[in-house]
C-alpha cells in the first residue's frame, strides 16, 4: 500500500490541511501544533482500526480524535494482484465515526468517545468499541474486511516513550476484550522488538535444522529411484534457499545496525544462543538491552524494518509495498546519525514508502526538496 494524498478538515477543531505524498520518501516539517504527528496518527488509525497498542484498539484513538472529515487516497494490490486506487473517508458526528471506502457499498461505524470519562468508564468504552467492531466483523462488514486485507502502515513513533517499557500509569487498560481477530500490530516496547528479532532467527534456524533431519532420513532410509532422487534434489534446493535467506537477512540487519554502532566502537552480533548481543571495548559482551536510548532506537528501527514484514494484514498480497510512518525519529539520535538516517532506512527497504514527521534539519537536509512537505494549516 502506498499513500497518495490526504485531506483533513477541522482537525482538532480548527486545522485544515491538504497533503500530497511521493511514493518513496516524504519528510513532514512544521512548527509545534501544526499537526505533523496527528496526520500520521489519523492515517494509521483509519487504515488499521482493529489493530492494538497497549491493550487499546486504534478505533478508540480515532473515536477520541476531534475532526470533521479526513480523506486518505492510497494504492494497493487487489485480490487479483492488480494495482487499485481507493479513497477512505472518515466523518464524525455527535454519535459515531463512520469509515467509508470508495467502491465498497458498506460502512464501518465506531462509537464516539465521551469526554470527561474516568478510567473505569474509559475501559468500558473501549469494550463497547471492541464489541461494535466484533459485531460488524461477524456480520462480514466489507470495509473492515478490506482494511484487514490491506498491508496496513507500519507506524514507528520511535521516541523515548515508546522505547521504554510501559509503566502501570500508561497501561491501565486490561486485555479482557482482546480477540484473536484483533492481533496486535503496533509499536512495542524494546523487549518485544528484540524478542521478535531473536525469535525470527530461531524460527529460521529451526526450519533449516528440520530440513537437515529430513534430508538425512531421505538419504539413509529411502530407496532412491529416479523420482525419489528428483524429490531429494528439490528438498536440497529448499534447504539451500532457506539457508541463504536467513543468512542474507541477518547479514543485512547486522550491517545496517553496525553502520551506526561502529561509530562508538560497538558491534551487534547474534550469539550462539541466537540472542542479540553487543561487543564493546576490549572485547566485552553486553546484552542488547543495555544500550543507550539512541542505540536502542536504531536497533528497534531496523528490527522493525527487517523482521516486522510479516504484517498480519495483507498476507495474501506479500508483493504489495508497505507505508512506514516515523514520528520524530531524531529524539536521542546524535546529529551525525540523523544525517545518515534517511539514506540508511531507504537502503534497508527499497520497496517501502517512508513518511517521516520531524523537527530536525539534519534529517530533512539530505533529501530532495520535492520530498519536503511543509505543514501550514489553512
Predicted local distance difference test score (pLDDT) of residue 183: 34
How high is the mean pLDDT in each 10-residue block of the chain (378 residues)?
Answer: 95 91 93 86 90 77 92 89 91 92 92 64 75 80 88 68 37 33 39 63 67 68 65 72 76 92 89 81 76 84 72 47 89 88 90 91 86 83
| Total-model pTM | 0.78
User: Using CA atoms, how far apart are residues 274 and 265, in angstroms rounded to an integer?
Assistant: 22
Predicted local distance difference test score (pLDDT) of residue 151: 81
Q: Give 158-222 as a DSSP string.
A: -SHHHHSPP-TTT----GGG--TTS-B-S---HHHHHHHHHHHHHHHHHHHHHHHHHHHHHHHHS
The CATH number assigned to the domain with range 2-185+330-374 reads: 3.40.50
Return phi, psi of residue 130, to 5°. -60, -45
Give residue limits of the domains in the chain: 2-185+330-374, 192-293
| CA-to-CA separations, 308 to 56, 153, 303, 354, in angstroms, rounded | 20, 11, 7, 15
Predicted local distance difference test score (pLDDT) of residue 172: 30
- In the sheet where 285-287 sits, what is the strand order? 267-270, 276-279, 285-287
User: Using CA atoms, how far apart are residues 223 and 211, in angstroms rounded to an integer?
Assistant: 18
Predicted local distance difference test score (pLDDT) of residue 154: 85
User: Using CA atoms, how far apart are residues 152 and 165, in angstroms rounded to an integer?
Assistant: 25
HSE (side-chain half, CA atoms, 13 Å) at 66: 8
Predicted local distance difference test score (pLDDT) of residue 5: 96
CB 267, CB 278: distance < 8 Å: yes
Amino acid at each position: 500500500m502506498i499513500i497518495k494524498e490526504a485531506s483533513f478538515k477541522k482537525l482538532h477543531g480548527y486545522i485544515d490541511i491538504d497533503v500530497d505524498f511521493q511514493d518513496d520518501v516524504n519528510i513532514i516539517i512544521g512548527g509545534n501544533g501544526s499537526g505533523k504527528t496527528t496526520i500520521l496518527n489519523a492515517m494509521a488509525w483509519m487504515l488499521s482500526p482493529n489493530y492494538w497498542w497497549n491493550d487499546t484498539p486504534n478505533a478508540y484513538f480515532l473515536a477520541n480524535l476531534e475532526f470533521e472529515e479526513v480523506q486518505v487516497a492510497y494504492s494497493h494490490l487487489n485480490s487479483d494482484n492488480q494495482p487499485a486506487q481507493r479513497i477512505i473517508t472518515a466523518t464524525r458526528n455527535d454519535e459515531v465515526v463512520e469509515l467509508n471506502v470508495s467502491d465498497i457499498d458498506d460502512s464501518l461505524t465506531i462509537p464516539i468517545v465521551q469526554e470527561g470519562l474516568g478510567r473505569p468508564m474509559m475501559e468500558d468504552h473501549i469494550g463497547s468499541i471492541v464489541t461494535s467492531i466484533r459485531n460488524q466483523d461477524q456480520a462480514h462488514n466489507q470495509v473492515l474486511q478490506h482494511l484487514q486485507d490491506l498491508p496496513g502502515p507500519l507506524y514507528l513513533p520511535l521516541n523515548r516513550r515508546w522505547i521504554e517499557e510501559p509503566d502501570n500509569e500508561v497501561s491501565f487498560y486490561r486485555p479482557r476484550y482482546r480477540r484473536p481477530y484483533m492481533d496486535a500490530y503496533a509499536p512495542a516496547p524494546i523487549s518485544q522488538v528484540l524478542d521478535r528479532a531473536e525469535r525470527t532467527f530461531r524460527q529460521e534456524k529451526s526450519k533449516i535444522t528440520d530440513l537437515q533431519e529430513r534430508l538425512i532420513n531421505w538419504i539413509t532410509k529411502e530407496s532412491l529411484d529416479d523420482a525419489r532422487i528428483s524429490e531429494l534434489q528439490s528438498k536440497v534446493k529448499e534447504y539451500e534457499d532457506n539457508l541463504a535467506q536467513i543468512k542474507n537477512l541477518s547479514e543485512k540487519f547486522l550491517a545496517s545496525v553496525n553502520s551506526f554502532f561502529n561509530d562508538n566502537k560497538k558491534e551487534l552480533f547474534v550469539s550462539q544462543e541466537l540472542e542479540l548481543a553487543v561487543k564493546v571495548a576490549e572485547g566485552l559482551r553486553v546484552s542488547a538491552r543495555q544500550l543507550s536510548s539512541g542505540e536502542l532506537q536504531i536497533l528497534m528501527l531496523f528490527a522493525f524494518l527487517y523482521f516486522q514484514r510479516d504484517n498480519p494484514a495483507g498476507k495474501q498480497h506479500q508483493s504489495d509495498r508497505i507505508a512506514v510512518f516515523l514520528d520524530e525519529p531524531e529524539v536521542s539520535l546524535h546529529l551525525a546519525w540523523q544525517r545518515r538516517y534517511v539514506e540508511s532506512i531507504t537502503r534497508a527497504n527499497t520497496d517501502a514508502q517512508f513518511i517521516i514527521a520531524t523537527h530536525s534539519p539534519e534529517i530533512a537536509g539530505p533529501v530532495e526538496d520535492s520530498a519536503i512537505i511543509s505543514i501550514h494549516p489553512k
